[in-house]
Amino acid sequence: ELEDIEERLREESHELVEMVSRLQDENRKLSSSLAKTEGNHIHSNGATPEIDLKVVTRLQEVIEAQREQLHKTENECHLKATELDNLKSQLEKVNHVNRELRRRQRTNATQMRSLIDERAELQAALQEETRAVTILRQRLGLAQKENEDLASSSTDSLDLTNKLVFDRDDPNRPRFTMTELKEILYERNELKARVSDLEDELEMYRPKDERQDAADDDDDDDDEEPPVQGPMPYEPDDAPWKRGESGIRKFFRRLFGDDETGSGTSPKRNLLGLGRP
């Protein structure tokens, strides 16, 4: 709109300038014609003076009117020029504001694009976080279910209060109960008593020299292997088949014809046979 107004003002100014030029040309023409008329009047020696005065008066009026019109036109041109300058300054201001607005628009567009990109990144991150939270919730649900299963299985399991738990592969685990150990020790003591009775009975049938040697051997065996007392989880070390060669064992070997290699009936089996009624 401002450009259209400026264009119209330029056209009007151009028309006014042309009008001024045209009036100036007419003024020059009238001045030259007036000068010629006055010259002819001087040379004609007073012919038709009234007609010449009328023409001159009319020409002067026309000239004055043209001068006034010229002044008006010049004033209008100055006003139009001033208005044009004002419009130019306003147009420059508007152009400056327009350039500033365009610059701001470009800046805002850049910021908007960056905000859109940031929003897209945030949405992607939010989706990832949502997916991670969903996975964690699923894992939490599985963990809670496993915990409930373990709790239910623990309640359904055996009550191990005041119970002894041991590893089956442990070589030092207990293998007998107290009752069994008591029975074993009781049988062991009975067997020892019967063996002692048999030794005393056999001692009565042995020669004096052999009895003295057997007594010495028994003393040596008693010094070397003290009796074991208390419950033993393993096989007792003082079992008859694990003891050293005592005098009684030598006596039974000679009595039942056992050789040096240990062939024949074992002393344990012979003792059991002797102990039978």
Tell whether the torsion through CA atoms of 201, 262, 276 and 175 is positive or negative.
positive
The DSSP code for 48 is S
pLDDT at 124 over 80: yes
Query: Looking at the structure, do residues 23 and 113 belong to the same domain, yes or no?
Result: yes
Residue pLDDT, tens place only, 163-213: 666 667 777 777 777 888 888 889 889 988 888 888 888 878 777 666 566
| Domain final residue pick, 117, 141, 163 | 117
Query: Looking at the structure, do residues 109 and 182 belong to the same domain, yes or no?
Result: no
Quick check: 273 and 195 in contact, CB under 8 A? no
The pLDDT of residue 238 is 52
154 occurs within a structural domain: no
Range of the domain at 30: 2-117
Count of domains for the chain: 2
| For helices 267-275 and 178-205, angle between their N-to-C axes, nearest 10 degrees | 80
Residue pLDDT, tens place only, 23-53: 778 777 777 777 776 666 555 544 455 656 7
Residue pLDDT, tens place only, 206-253: 776 665 666 666 555 555 455 544 444 445 555 444 544 445 555 555
194 occurs within a structural domain: yes
| Domain final residue pick, 48, 83, 117 | 117
